[in-house]
Amino acid sequence: MNFKQFTTAAFLALIGTTAIAQHKCGVGVEDGALIKERMLENRRNVPVEQIQAFQNSRAITYVPVKFTIVGDNNGVGYCDIDQIFAMHCDMNNDYRTQDVQFVLKDAANSVRYANNTSIYNDGSGSSASFWMGTNKIAGALNIYTSASVNNQVASYYSPFGDYIFVLNQMANGSSSTGSHETGHFLSLNHTFYGWEGTDFTGGTAPNSVGGSAVERVARSGGTANCASAADGFCDTPADYISYRANCPYTGGGTDNTGAAINPEESLIMSYYADACVDSFSPEQKGAIAADLIQRGWQSLAAPSPTASVSGASVVGVSPIGGASAPLVNDVVLTWNAVPNATGYVVFVERTLFGSSIETVSKAIVYGTNTYTVPAALLSYPRQYSWKVKPFNQYQTCAAYSAPFAFSTTAPATAVEDVFKTSAEMTILSNPVGSMTADVLINVPNATTASMLLYSMDGKQIVNMNGVELNSGDNLQLLDVSSLNNGVYVLVVTTPEGSLHQKLVVQR
Ligand SMILES: [Zn+2]
């Protein structure tokens, strides 16, 4: 797929000149051409009056979003669910002025997990792109996240597959990546479209770059080309900066007529630093509305409920307050259900003096206010804490609850097990040459025993019942005066278990 190779090459070209940490988009010129085509098609097909009526009429447009968290074939490398929720929350903050609310598709299994080593290795490879394009959840904005360990491609929107891919480290509440790529999904191009892969270093810009007309500064008059050049919007000023830059722009560049450019650094579809961007222009908003109409998403039903939830209100039930219990079975965490929550992220950590030292598990539960921590993930004696973050389809911005502490102790061992591992019997001076045998019996707990002596042919010869044994060593005398020389078996039986020993009489 040549277009993706180009995108990657463009991205790699940028690495040398910009801070990689903030780079966020792999949409190149070829992808952008398709996005622009769709935007212009929407512009032709959706009358301005319809867009305006839609914008005026709607309270909130609910756009279902399906996050798919992709690990390798063994489930390694999932993006942290907290990052996903932070990104979702940030997208809603950015699109609030559009009256767009991204809602998790489906109340149960709202977030999908998938294992695919191709994507884990290279999020823009052809097999990865094919899988993501063909495994979308219908009727939703599909956003895939993965590590892409062998190819740190930027995050991107694919106009071919109509899905978004976000690098794990770009999925967060501060990078604007989700909002930027969603802008592409909704037909918006970069404000600097045409300059992808080309650095503008100041001076006078050419008439065209990479075959595309360069947008001029003028908004009207004979030289104005803003309606067709670059992103096709006249309320997004000419912008030639296709690399991560700080705001404001101070490069002093001009268009080919000599007019100084003055980019709008707050536009989310620009490449200005994350801290600079937070807005869409009115024409961009109109294009977003047109694309929602074209997708038939202008009146999708609201999820239920449409209420915010808070982690601060979570009341832990058990185990809490440092409760200590022997670790015997799985530990069931319980809290009071939070109003309007349809699911919870449950975070269990091992602690030392109250501070986290290790993650035990982080899991999502739906429709329940309990979570079972498998005993296999716990040990003893140890300190743990757990906390929960409630959410619903409408809102994933809640903080975690306060932590609830518990500790584990060694499981109580059954008396039978203790007897088995510690009780012992020794016949002193064996072979026995006298009329009595001295038998040393050690038991962990006081008990009552029977002492039975058998000949080798299985015949019971001695039977002493009700022998009281103390905890620890007991010396018992066994009368063997009537026994002939030979080999016998002494069996001591207690309610907790039995002891066996060969006894040899040899006078
Ligand atoms: Zn982009």
- How large a percentage of the chain has pLDDT more than 70? 95
pLDDT of residue 507: 86
- 373, pLDDT greater than 60: yes
Q: Indicate the SS3 state at residue 332.
A: strand
Same domain, 92 and 113: yes
Same domain, 261 and 284: no
Residue 221 backbone zone (phi > 0: left; psi -120 to 50: alpha; other: beta): left
- Write the CATH number for 454: 2.60.40.2550
DSSP strand pairing (472-479 vs 100-104): unpaired
Domain count, the chain: 4
C-alpha distances in Å from residue 251, one per residue of 200, 254, 331: 9, 9, 61
252 alpha carbon – ligand 1 mean position (Å): 24
502 alpha carbon – ligand 1 mean position (Å): 85
> What would the mean pLDDT of 28-42 be, rounded to a whole number?
95
Select from 271, 302, 333 the last residue of a domain: 302
Per residue in 121-164, pLDDT (tens digit) is 999 999 999 999 999 999 999 999 999 999 988 899 999 999 99
Q: Indicate the SS3 state at residue 337.
A: coil
Please indicate, yes or no, if residue 311 is contained in any of the structural domains: no
Same domain, 196 and 217: yes
- 10, pLDDT greater than 80: no
Computed over every residue of the chain, the mean pLDDT equals 91
Contact status, residue 272 vs residue 247, Cβ threshold 8 Å: yes
214 alpha carbon – ligand 1 mean position (Å): 18
302 alpha carbon – ligand 1 mean position (Å): 29
Select from 392, 409, 426 the last residue of a domain: 409
Same domain, 179 and 226: no
Same domain, 26 and 104: yes
Same domain, 328 and 404: yes
pLDDT of residue 4: 34
Same domain, 48 and 117: yes
441 alpha carbon – ligand 1 mean position (Å): 81
pTM for this entry:
0.80
- Write the CATH number for 9: 3.40.390
Q: How many CA atoms lie within 13 A of 182 on its CB side?
A: 31
Same domain, 335 and 216: no
**pLDDT band at residue 331 using 50, 70 and 90 as cut-offs:** very high
- 8, pLDDT greater than 80: no
First to last CA, the chain: 96
Please indicate, yes or no, if residue 310 is contained in any of the structural domains: no
227 alpha carbon – ligand 1 mean position (Å): 20
213 alpha carbon – ligand 1 mean position (Å): 19
> What would the mean pLDDT of 292-300 be, rounded to a whole number?
93
Same domain, 20 and 142: yes
223 alpha carbon – ligand 1 mean position (Å): 27
- Cβ partners under 8 Å of residue 325, min gap 6: 319, 331, 406, 407, 408, 409
Per residue in 183-219, pLDDT (tens digit) is 999 999 999 999 998 999 999 999 999 888 999 999 9
Same domain, 294 and 323: no
- 9, pLDDT greater than 90: no
125 alpha carbon – ligand 1 mean position (Å): 18
Same domain, 421 and 501: yes
Same domain, 36 and 162: yes
Per residue in 351-367, pLDDT (tens digit) is 999 899 999 999 999 99
Q: In which domain, by residue range, is 256 found?
A: 190-279
Distance between CA atoms of residues 4 and 11, nearest Å: 10
- Write the CATH number for 343: 2.60.40.10
